[in-house]
């Protein structure tokens, strides 16, 4: 296939497209489009969960198997603690770092355990920015309404109000730690417009927002000398006679030894499930995104919310093959980049919400207006050269250095030619139910970030994840630290596991997979 | 996909699209036949190795997969991020082990003269002998050597801009004959730039005050008292 010839269709149609304006879908149009094309509505991909707190609820088959899965921990494991701490943080991404730093600042004795290295996460890849209502014509209330609209009105109002109101203090905290957000000439924070938002509200560090934040947070965790266990995966939580959380069993992945942690409070900041490749989708997620925290919290009796809805980011790479599933930043569309089908036509307002844009791309491809590459995959164009044409040469170099580099490695020059994209599995909209302090219904078990649910409704708005991590990581850290001051360490047992196994047996579920998965099994065994 | 995506061992189906054409590469000194065009990390999985260390975000941002490679008949050993680099026939590569570079610890807010404090925290920084090996080792094409000198001369702003691309893979450190860890020096300089030498955004403080003073309470009361239908109408008006 000659890609150059296909590029020409995009080049030739550019000027005409620049004159065109495409209306966003009305709520009714959105619903119809999503019901017909969004992967959340493919019934055969779903099944009811057989037992446990969400028994009978529909979710994707892959997640159902993980939730019903068999713990690798034997019920009679001796529970002699290797560590005794106030706060155990599981996960080394944005929420984990924010939680650890805030708990530590309150004087708590913190242990941060992560199955990869500190900061190997999705947070570090966040390119688009962080939504915080700082612009004069914007307000937290406006941010609330935008998010609610993006989430199909299904967001938890209390959680959402907390997030949008605490955004500005989070920005201040990060700035005080040395995070270099983009600025306007007058020194104020530069804000960009994100998909689904009515105001310019995205704080950015060029297209390295997550990387810049995470470099700084990791450095600060190390400066504060917060005890750290890398390559240590949590496999099971511990409970006392009241069913409260009292610690966790970790596994050192280097020597496979189990590590028992007695903790007055546990904060799960374990992220999402992209690496389960639900519905066979490629993913933009990091190596460890296997939903471990969901399985562990579920076994402890903590219900999950909105686990029937996932976010498929509109722009995952499909060519070159090495970039399959990798994220192409939404920033390109924020700055006016067009989505173009194989016939050289725009087909959606590029700044509509992610679920609408993804559904529209799937529609174009399913109805034969996509572009097929050698691997057999079909996608649509993202017109990157348009940005230089529109805003002047050098725009891509200046504002999207990461993306220029991402493609340059494979000899694709995004300044000259458009790129091919298709939706990629990006985010788990729901997760473990939490309250405003990020605590799950299981006492002393906190869940922060993507592993938690309710805040984003049925579709997370661009730029709200980084803010979610910081706000609820902070709240989890502060509340856990306070709890550790007032409450004694509970006893260590695996009683909840015995109950869970009995439930499984009662429901005739016997041949489960081992869960948590910890790492995806990509190793080929011929 | 209509069936469970993995078997009982928890095996996820590999992302497909592997090319049928095969090439020979040497991984950690051992030859393997792998499909042409896949990333170095996928080659590792394909060759049957369990991978725990050396893989992180898989998107070119976390620096976990820092790798040395050499192409056929070329004596030059280069660096790359294995998640974002494709194999070619005759290539030889090894992952960089964790390198024990020293990170200084500091409380940025308490520093009074961060440009001078650099020499206490990282006394090796001014000992750069200009060999340029760090710049050549950088998989992100940062002019690392220049950045170290900018830091030494106190141009922290330039350092912060030059190192915005830095994924902290640390490949600049093992090659330094003066034992400088340039990425750590740059991170210190960038953070100091943010904490000490960047204007505080006034608008942000005003917004925080407005929230604290309850400026939005009337709006909140109105919005939070709406029923579902009213909320839907209110947010539908947003363009």
DSSP bridge partners of A412: none
How far is residue A122 CA from its own chain's centroid? Answer: 6
- pLDDT tens digits, residue range B75-84? 999 999 999 8
Q: Splitting chain A (526 residues) into consecutive groups of 10 residues, what average pLDDT does each group show?
A: 82 95 90 95 96 98 97 97 98 98 98 97 94 97 95 96 98 98 97 89 95 98 98 98 98 97 98 95 96 98 97 93 87 92 96 92 96 88 96 93 87 94 96 98 98 96 96 98 98 97 96 95 84
Please tell me the distance from the alpha carbon of residue B169 to that of residue B79, in angstroms, as a whole number: 10
CA distance B171 to chain A (A): 16
Q: Measure the CA–CA gap between A355 and A429, rounded to whole angstroms.
A: 11
Helix (H), strand (E) at residue A249: strand A245-252
Which CATH architecture group holds A83-309+429-498?
3-Layer(bba) Sandwich (3.50)
Interface size, chain A vs chain B, as Cβ–Cβ contacts under 8 Å: 258
Domain ranges in chain B with CATH number 3.10.20.740: 22-95
A208 — contact with chain B (CB < 8 Å)? yes
Q: Do B6 and A513 touch (CB under 8 A)?
A: yes
Q: Of the candidates B141, B140, B135, B142, which has an alpha carbon nearest to the alpha carbon of residue B173?
A: B135
Confirm or reject contact between B69 and chain A (CB < 8 A).
no
Residue ranges in chain B whose pLDDT is less than 70? 1-20, 238-239
Closest CA to A97 of A216, A208, A201: A216
pLDDT at A329: 87
Start and end residues for every CATH 1.10.1060.10 domain found in chain B: 108-196
ipTM for the whole complex: 0.92
DSSP class per residue in A205-230: BTB-HHHHHHHHHHHHHHHTT--EET
pLDDT at B239: 53
* pLDDT of amino acid B238: 65
Please name the member of A277, A278, A326 whose beta carbon is closest to the beta carbon of B59. Answer: A326
Q: Is A521 on the interface with B (CB under 8 A)?
A: yes
* Residue A331, pLDDT score: 87
- Is residue A408 within 8 angstroms of chain B, CB to CB? no
Question: What integer pLDDT is reported at residue B20 of this predicted model?
Answer: 55
Domain positions in chain A are 3-37+311-425, 83-309+429-498
Would you identify the CATH topology of the domain A3-37+311-425? Answer: Flavocytochrome C3; Chain A, domain 1 (3.90.700)
Asked if B229 is an interface residue toward chain A (Cβ–Cβ < 8 A), one would say no
Q: CB count, 10 Å around CB of A38?
A: 24
Enter the DSSP assignment of B86.
B
Q: Which CATH class is domain B22-95?
A: alpha beta
* Residues of chain A neighbouring B57 (CB-CB closer than 8 A): 120-122, 124-125, 286-287
Could you tell me which of A134, A452, A3, A286 has the C-alpha nearest to residue B209? Answer: A134
User: SS3 for B128?
Assistant: coil
Which positions of A are annotated as active-site residues?
313, 333
Locate all alpha helices (DSSP H) within A308-353, ordered by sequence. 331-334
Length of chain A, please? 526
**pLDDT tens digits, residue range A198-247?**
999 999 999 899 999 999 999 999 999 999 999 999 999 999 999 999 99
CATH topology of domain B108-196: Fumarate Reductase Iron-sulfur Protein; Chain B, domain 2 (1.10.1060)
Chain B 154-213, residues with CB within 8 Å of chain A CB atoms: 160, 164-168, 187, 190-195, 198-205, 207-208, 211
């Amino acid at each position: 296939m000659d890609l150059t010839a296909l590029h020409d269709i995009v080049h030739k149609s550019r000027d005409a497209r620049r004159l065109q304006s495409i209306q966003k879908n009305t709520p009714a149009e959105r619903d119809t489009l999503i019901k017909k094309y969004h992967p959340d509505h493919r019934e055969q991909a779903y099944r009811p969960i057989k037992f446990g707190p969400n028994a009978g609820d529909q979710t994707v088959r892959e997640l159902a198997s993980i939730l019903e899965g068999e713990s690798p921990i034997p019920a009679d494991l001796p529970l002699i603690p290797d560590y005794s701490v106030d706060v155990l943080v599981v996960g080394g991404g944005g929420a984990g770092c924010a939680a650890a730093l805030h708990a530590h600042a309150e004087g708590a004795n913190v242990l941060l355990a992560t199955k990869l290295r500190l900061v190997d996460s999705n947070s570090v890849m966040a390119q688009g920015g962080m939504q915080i209502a700082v612009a004069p014509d914007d307000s937290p209330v406006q941010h609330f309404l935008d998010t609610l609209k993006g989430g199909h009105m299904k967001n938890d109002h209390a959680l959402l109000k907390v997030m949008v109101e605490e955004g500005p203090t989070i920005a201040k905290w990060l700035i005080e730690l040395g995070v270099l957000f983009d600025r306007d000439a007058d020194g104020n924070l530069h804000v960009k417009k994100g998909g689904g938002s009515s105001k310019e509200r995205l704080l950015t560090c060029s297209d390295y927002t997550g990387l810049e934040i995470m470099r700084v947070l990791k450095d600060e965790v190390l400066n504060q000398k917060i005890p750290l266990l890398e390559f240590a995966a949590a496999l099971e939580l511990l409970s006392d006679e009241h069913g409260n959380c009292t610690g966790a069993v970790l596994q050192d992945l280097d020597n496979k030894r189990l590590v028992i942690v007695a903790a007055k409070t546990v904060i799960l900041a374990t992220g999402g499930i992209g690496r389960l490749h639900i519905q066979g989708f490629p993913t933009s997620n990091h190596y460890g995104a296997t939903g471990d925290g969901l399985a562990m919290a579920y076994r402890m009796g903590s219900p999950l919310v909105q686990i029937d809805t996932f976010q498929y980011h509109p722009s995952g790479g499909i060519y070159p093959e090495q970039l399959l599933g990798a994220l192409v930043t939404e920033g390109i569309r924020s700055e006016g980049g067009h989505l173009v089908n194989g016939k050289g036509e725009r087909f959606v307002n590029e700044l509509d919400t992610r679920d609408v844009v993804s559904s529209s791309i799937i529609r174009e491809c399913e109805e034969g207006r996509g572009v097929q590459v050698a691997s057999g995959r079909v996608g649509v164009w993202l017109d990157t050269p348009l940005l230089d044409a529109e805003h002047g040469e050098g725009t891509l170099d200046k504002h999207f250095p990461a993306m220029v580099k991402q493609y340059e490695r494979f000899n694709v020059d995004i300044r000259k030619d458009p790129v091919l994209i298709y939706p990629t599995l990006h985010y788990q909209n729901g997760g473990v139910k939490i309250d405003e302090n990020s605590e799950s219904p299981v006492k002393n078990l906190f869940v922060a970030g993507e592993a938690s649910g309710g805040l984003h409704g049925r579709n997370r708005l661009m730029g709200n994840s980084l803010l979610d991590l910081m706000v609820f990581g902070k709240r989890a850290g502060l509340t856990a630290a306070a709890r550790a001051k007032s409450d004694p360490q509970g006893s260590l047992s695996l009683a909840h596991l015995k109950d869970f196994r009995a439930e499984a047996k009662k429901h005739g579920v016997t041949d489960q997979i081992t869960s948590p998965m910890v790492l995806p099994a990509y190793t080929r065994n011929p | 996909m209509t069936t469970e995506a993995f078997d009982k061992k928890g095996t996820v189906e590999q992302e497909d699209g592997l090319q049928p054409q095969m090439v020979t590469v040497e991984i950690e000194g051992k030859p393997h036949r792998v499909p042409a065009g896949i990333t170095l990390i996928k080659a590792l999985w394909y060759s049957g190795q369990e991978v725990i260390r050396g893989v992180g975000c898989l998107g070119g941002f976390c620096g976990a997969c820092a790798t040395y490679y050499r192409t056929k008949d070329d004596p030059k050993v280069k660096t790359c991020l294995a998640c974002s680099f494709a194999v070619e026939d005759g290539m030889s590569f090894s992952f960089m082990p964790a390198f024990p570079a020293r990170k200084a610890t500091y409380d940025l807010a308490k520093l009074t003269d961060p440009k001078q404090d650099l020499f206490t925290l990282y006394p090796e920084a001014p000992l750069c002998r200009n060999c340029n090996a760090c710049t050549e080792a950088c998989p992100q094409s940062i002019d690392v050597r220049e950045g170290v000198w900018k830091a030494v001369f106190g141009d922290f702003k330039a350092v912060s801009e030059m190192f915005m691309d830095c994924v902290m893979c640390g490949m600049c450190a093992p090659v330094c004959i003066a034992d400088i860890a340039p990425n750590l020096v740059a991170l210190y300089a960038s953070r100091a730039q943010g904490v000490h030498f960047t204007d505080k955004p006034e608008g942000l403080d005003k917004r925080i005050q407005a929230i604290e003073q309850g400026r939005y309470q009337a709006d909140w009361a109105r919005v939070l008292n709406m029923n579902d239908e009213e909320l839907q109408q209110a947010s539908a008006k947003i363009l």
